[in-house]
Chain A
Amino acid sequence: MSLKIKRNIPLIDQHDKNFMYGGKFGGNFIPETLKKPIDDLTKLFTKLRKDKKFLNERDYHFKNYVGAPTPFIKLENLTDHLGGAQIYAKVVSEANGGAHKIYNATVHCLIAKKAGKKYIVGDTGAGYAGKMLSMAAKKFDLKCKIFMGAKDIKRQRPNVEAMKKNGAKIVPVTTGSQTLVDAVSECMRYWVSNCDTTHMCVGSTVGPNIFIKICAWSTAQISRELIKQVYEEFGRVPNKLKLINCVGGGSSAAGFWNEFINTKAQLIGVEAGGPNNSTLHAAPLTNGSKIGILHGAAQYVIQDKEGQIGSTESISAGLDYPGISPLHCFLKDTKRARYTSASDEEALEAYQLVSKLENISPSLEPSHAFAEAIKLAPKLNSSEVIVVNSCGDSLKDKDIIKQKLGSYIR
């Protein structure tokens, strides 16, 4: 039986009583100790999302602190260069801090305050989730600890420096592959030991159900802005509108698409395909990985036959994760979204082309989405519209880009 999206129910609420999307994805596969804190957080969030005062507070901070709305611009030069569909960008990297992670971080800090917690911990891969959480924690006067893989600490220096400046304690994670997957595990382990005093922020739409909900609910701000901007520009949602977004954990894509679920817009997610000559990748949806349990949720996940989580490889630390949000597994199985991947090389080329032609310079994560746009646009009619979520700025990838291409342009 094929899965269906129920109309008039928000995407994050499309789960059953066991918090499973389509009866297959998500849930709460957690140690007993976390049952109560997760239950408490679920109750608090259920209350807060209906609370007008809280919503006003959120909107106030999104406007004055995050900087809403972020620009929606036409990429004239790229469009001319490719000679097909009209290409637009939602420049989410203009948000305070330089990426979409600020939405989730801000909301988690607001919730932590409401819960009376003084400490907040979070995981990070590319360093954006950590940077934003440290920023927001500083603003809202919370003590902050960030778990980050030792390999990622090395390859995402600028964000590490930013976290330190914000007064966060960075805990290097040296277990396993020393990347995001291990950072999330270590952060959860820390929370198991400190859940009485500490609030946990999961950096993407992954983990136990409540973290998926809070994150997607927060990043939904992107599409609330975008749908207005699309109406202002075109007077309607254009026919065959394509919304292209990179997916690692899937938080920016979930937010970019949320308000368009019930429109005819085509949703295209681009996973990290890894290097051209490698068998490793971070694209469980594209490559048909089986359902497994990772970090408390059932999802398509890169794993071996036994159920050991598999290694990944990607030039983009933010997409370098073996799993994928249960929301995206659900969107894939309902066929509401289509998923593909771009290789490291394609992402680098896309970064180069966009940075050369336009005033924006996407980081390696959204460069995966641009790679797909660059592939598609020439095949399409000039009446068709593509919007890419440019959800991060290349500055943080300066070192990697220099190393791979010899020079860095922005």
Chain B
Amino acid sequence: MKSKITLAFDICKKEKRPALITYTVAGDNTKNNSLKILNELSKHADILELGFAHNTPIADGGQIQGSSHRALKNGIKLKDVFQIVKKFKKINPHKPIILMGYFNLIFQNGENNFLKSCKSSGVDGLIIVDLPYPENKKFANKCKRKSINFIQLLSPTTSKDRMKKIIKDSHDMIYYISMLSTTGGKLKVSPKKILHNYNAIKRINPKKNLVIGFGITDKTISSLKSANGLVVGSMLCKTITESLKMRQNPVTKLGKVVYNLKSKII
């Protein structure tokens, strides 16, 4: 049976456009709003990434750190994250949700326990920022047995040999980090160069769904639309920060932003 993630990519391919993938942090700016935000985003986005906040992140840029900080200040716990997913899935059973975060939270929760909660709440995939290949093999296999996608990351520093191995062991989706940066950095590499690297990876296995993330905003997204998928995160976190500052409703504001993003890639 095809996973919901694969099905989402299939639809986008039929429509000859990349999948739009959003990232927001669970509990930002409140638990309730976080669910409303997911519902709003899902009108235009194809896959939703949902961050579970950690207070010592080693790869997040300022915007996502800000979102995580707000979420943690609100007392967000893993069980709340799963609640949000569960409630979202009740309304949107077919929209894939990918949880993203750092390994220590899974480690403390217990790998099996964590995966059980993923399964029962309807999580479709996982991105673990600080659990690289091959150290992640065991955990990735556990995910596979539970039909949860473990999403491998590739970066501009990943050697070709290593890429081949990672791709061979990957599941339905692979994430290419566009540049040497934490999340939300300014795109410091030309889209042409990014697509050049992207195509080189695709040639290793054209069947794998490969998405590009880091540094993607409304300004850069259209130039990368030949990819299978594009992830926008920091720009959304920034939108929440700014609407809170202006006392605007982050939910409606995000709706407009994501509509605009989508319009640039269709």
Residue A192 interfacial (CB < 8 Å): yes
Residue A141 interfacial (CB < 8 Å): no
Residue A28 interfacial (CB < 8 Å): yes
As a 0/1 sequence over residues 25 to 65 of chain A, the CB contacts with chain B under 8 angstroms (1 = contact) are 00111111111110000000000000000000000000000
Contact B104 A296 (CB under 8 A): no
Contact B72 A308 (CB under 8 A): yes
Interface of B is mostly: loop
Residues of A within 8 A of B159 (CB): 36
Contact B104 A303 (CB under 8 A): yes
The CA-CA distance from A27 to B130 in the complex, in Å, is 11
Residue B108 interfacial (CB < 8 Å): yes
Summed over the interface, the residue pairs from A and B with CB atoms below 8 Å come to a total of 112
The CA-CA distance from A294 to B56 in the complex, in Å, is 8
Residue A194 interfacial (CB < 8 Å): yes
Q: Which of B54, B77, B158 contacts A36 (CB 8 A)?
A: B158
Contact A309 B135 (CB under 8 A): no
Contact A29 B158 (CB under 8 A): no
As a 0/1 sequence over residues 298 to 341 of chain A, the CB contacts with chain B under 8 angstroms (1 = contact) are 00000101111100000000000000000000000000000000
Q: Which of A18, A36, A292, A296 contacts B58 (CB 8 A)?
A: A296
Residue B259 interfacial (CB < 8 Å): no
Residues of B within 8 A of A176 (CB): 55-56
Q: How many positions in chain B have a CB within 8 Å of any CB in the partner chain?
A: 40
The CA-CA distance from A28 to B136 in the complex, in Å, is 11
Q: Which of A29, A195, A196, A290 contacts B103 (CB 8 A)?
A: A29
Residues of B within 8 A of A307 (CB): 54, 104-109
Known: A36-B158, A189-B59, A306-B77. A31 touches B129 (CB 8 A): yes
Nearest chain A CB to B28 CB, angstrom units:
16
Name A residues whose Cβ lies closer than 8 Å to a Cβ of B.
18, 27-37, 175-176, 181, 185, 188-189, 192-196, 290, 292-296, 303, 305-309
Listed from nearest, the 6 A-B pairs whose CB atoms lie closest are A307-B108, A36-B157, A33-B155, A293-B104, A307-B104, A31-B59
Name B residues whose Cβ lies closer than 8 Å to a Cβ of A.
54-61, 65, 69, 72, 77-78, 102-109, 129-133, 135, 153-159, 162, 177, 180-182, 185
Contacts A293-B102, A295-B58 known; 7 new A-B pairs at CB < 8 A: A29-B131, A193-B182, A194-B180, A293-B104, A294-B104, A305-B108, A308-B105
